[in-house]
A and B are shown apart, each in its own frame.
Chain A
Amino acid sequence: MKNPVWGRLLSVATWIVALIFFAPVAWMVLTSFKQETDAASSPPSFFFEPTLDQYRVIFASDAGPYFMNSVIATASSTVLVLILAIPAAYALSIRPVKRTQDALFFFISTKMLPVVAVIMPIYVIAGQIRMLDNIATLIILYTAMNLPIAVWMMRSFFLEVPGEVLEAASLDGASLLGTMRRVLIPMVAPGIAATSLICVIFAWNEFFFALNLTAANAATAPIFLMSTMTSEGLYLAQLSAASVLASLPVVLAGWFAQKQLVRGLSMGAVK
């Protein structure tokens, strides 16, 4: 370890491994700037005249509504999650209810229920109340999907708020809502941002519900990706451009919030 040559070799090895891992992503981005003939060439073409044609095709296509649906489903469900999760996390941390552990257990156990075990009744119910192919259905389901993670995450942030701050607020005679709005929420604002990030990632990437419960009206970006592959035969460069566009929001968000990612993925257990 102390040997500088050994250390430098190790650093080079790390870089090489990282580049290998990143290569498929790089290849996807590269392909998105190709013409279709270059994209499906054998052997693969590394040198070509880059073009923005594929992105133009995507922007001119019917991709707009799909991405708009994704934005609506992701944003609405994230807001709904926060509205439900922040008070719940408060009731499980700062002024805890009896049987807090049971409530926590219930929340997280729903996260471990395989989605496939509930899809059929959800499909039948949604059909009966005419909510199939309706973006509201996705919003409700994405809210339920992310709510347990958000409750756990927000709770772990609330537990970090020093007790004196809350005592001072309650001595001032501030009401529950007042305490939350003026004292607590500003203190856990970074936590709210981190929680939102996790909710956005999972909602944006969700495929199973969107596949089974939407059709022409409410389909989201992952469905658009799949449809570019199946409807018009294979246009690899175009598919790559669509993949880049569909992945970009979450990739950027994740890059900028790597630490929060760990906390969210482990439901607050790892900080």
Chain B
Amino acid sequence: MTTTQNPPAAVAGEAHTTTKPTAPEKSRVRSDRAEAWRRRAPLMPALIFLIIVTQVPFLLTIWYSLRSRNLLRPEGEQFVGLSNYGDIFLDSTFRQAALNSVLITFGCVIVAMLLGLGLALLLDRKFFGRGIVRTLLITPFLIMPVAGALLWSISMFNPTYGLVNWLIGLVGISPVDWTSEYPMFSVIVALVWQWTPFMMLLLLAGLQSQARDALEAASVDGASAWQTFRYITLPHLRFYLELSVLLGAIYVVNTFDHIYLMTAGGPGTASANLPFYIYQRAFLGFDIGQSAAMGVVTVIATIALALLALRLIFKSINAKEQS
């Protein structure tokens, strides 16, 4: 609603300044200010909305993390300083969840990136049915993640009627209870399946933005396919590789659906990652202070990753604006 109100207000401000021609200095300053506000006005609703919905809760999380508060123990909450932070670092489950987060994120992103690169290279040629192949390949990314997680944990990995055990049975391997015996592996497989198309799409866009004449010149000069790839394609792709890895990591580090539905963090806490463990402590353990502290630690750990990704995106935006 505020969007429709702001511009007229800004226009009125301008009219106000122009009615005072007697003090030109003042008027110029004011009209500068009015101009600045007129430019700012369309931005404000979005900015204010986002600050309220994201920053206020995060500040509250920091506040919670400094207090002891457990909904199961109503004897009251009090300021406890950094003791929640001390506690979570002594919590071996938290450390394991952090490690699992790292394993899942890097395992998924690296494998998906390599597969995505291979698929992008295969698709960057003209062949029969290329559009259909591309459409088939992006589908795993479009399936609702909840449906994808259930599909893998039940139809694919079920020990008795799952497709995977049937396939390995064909070559004589005895059935495996995938999600209990290899929970991390199962989760990573399902995530790789979902995220490979994402990597492929970004890398394919990168391949197709290559200057064709450079590739032709290379082949005229007698460069082998490998040399062309190594010395022309790969340097060009570097930006796209970095971008896809970092964006992929930012999305995958927040994985919750797959853990919740495929393994429930189990067996025990063997496959809990940070989002799942924090959820567990908050909504099943009602330990608000500690789960808030873990949330803050997760944010700090993600910032390094996020800053790298941001720097890269800004680089590309600036390069484009200057060109």
Where the two chains meet, the residues of A that have a C-beta atom closer than 8 Å to any C-beta of B are: 1, 7, 10-11, 13-15, 17-19, 21-22, 24-25, 27-28, 31, 39-44, 83-85, 87-88, 90-92, 95-98, 101, 103-125, 140-141, 143-144, 147-148, 151, 156, 159, 175-177, 201, 204-205, 207-208, 211-212, 221-222, 225-226, 229, 234, 236, 239-240, 243, 246-247, 250-251, 253-255, 258, 261-262, 265-271
Contacts and interface: CB of A to CB of B under 8 A. Distances in A.
B150 A225 contact: yes
Contact of B155 (A7, A28, A85): A28
A110 B256 CA distance: 18
Given A40-B161, A115-B254, A124-B288, 8 more contacts: A42-B161, A106-B50, A108-B310, A112-B250, A207-B145, A221-B144, A236-B154, A261-B201
Interface in B12-36: 36
A91 B144 contact: no
**Which 7 A-B pairs give the minimum distances between C-beta atoms?**
A87-B42, A117-B295, A121-B60, A112-B306, A88-B46, A243-B147, A91-B43
Interface in B153-185: 154-156, 160-161, 163, 166, 169
A186 B116 CA distance: 36
A90 to B, nearest CB: 5
Given A108-B313, A114-B253, A265 B198 contact: yes
The secondary-structure label for the interface of chain A is helix
Residue from B155, B169, B240, B302 having most chain A Cβ neighbours under 10 A: B155
B103 interface: no
Given A117-B61, A119-B282, A226-B146, A144 B205 contact: no
17 contacts: A18-B133, A22-B139, A43-B166, A92-B43, A110-B55, A114-B274, A114-B275, A120-B288, A147-B50, A175-B11, A205-B144, A207-B256, A236-B161, A239-B150, A246-B144, A254-B139, A254-B142
A88 B42 contact: yes
A211 B280 CA distance: 13
Residue from B142, B202, B253 having most chain A Cβ neighbours under 10 A: B142
A96 to B, nearest CB: 7
A67 to B, nearest CB: 12
